[in-house]
Amino acid sequence: MKTDTIPLNERIIVALDVAGDRQAREVVKKCEGHCRYFKVGLQLFMANWFHTVDWIVDRGHKVMLDLKFFDIPETVKLAVEQVNSRGVSMATIHGNDPIIRAAVEAATSMKLLAVTVLTSFGEDDMREMGMTQSVEDLVYYRARRALDLGCDGVVSSGLEAGRLRRGLGGKLLIVTPGIRPGANVEDGDDQKRVVTAGRAIGDGADYVVVGRPITQAADPAAVIASMQEEIAARSE
């Protein structure tokens, strides 16, 4: 739910896109003085299952489990039930209507986020697939459908956050990856639809997910502090 009561130290979700538990713990320890929300994705989860998730939760922090569940509805339902007891705050799913319904039915205390269109996917990709609608239109359609089916929110780029907030109102939780300082895509970066943290929050996102700009920085805490200043300025 869109709200101004989200603490500043939870607005940024640090993406622990690292190879294993040791690296993940190092990043958390460098960042936890400034933020208390961390994302565990497929790479790290496959390396050690729930081990890092449990460790983060035990330290009093929040976890976004980004596994993007996509399978037959019963399998997704059972997978979500497995996550319910792990203290995860948010989890991501892909899916058509039956899959989303199954996930929503199974979720208890955690919030479910439907992935709309990956931020590595751009307008050229749409054309290559023979799709005539824009990425923004596709994101909006999928977000509206997910909300209607009971999802708590969506994952979308900051480029679509404004339209989602205006069109779908305050019920929708918007989590935005593809965040870059200055919104510059570096050489070799696989993200195509990027914005700054300040713009994403200013346009209506509730949280921003930030990986490499923080985890590969010489001073991760300084990067977080700078982004938080940006976010605070746009949230006033």
Catalogue the active-site residues. Answer: 68
Those residues whose C-beta lies under 8 Å from the C-beta of residue 111, and which sit 6 or more positions away, are 89, 90, 91, 152, 153, 173
**Per-residue CA distances from 83 to 59, 63, 94, 134 (Å):** 18, 11, 16, 34
Residue 222: count other Cβ atoms within 10 Å of its Cβ: 12
What residue has token string 């209506």?
204
43, 71 Cβ separation under 8 angstroms: no
Strands 62-69 and 37-41: parallel
Q: Distance between CA atoms of 123 and 77, rounded to whole angstroms?
A: 33
Residue 160 sits at the vertex; the CA angle it makes with 195 and 35, to the nearest 5 degrees, is 50
Q: Write out the two tokens for 54.
A: 């449990």
90, β-bridge pairs: 64, 111
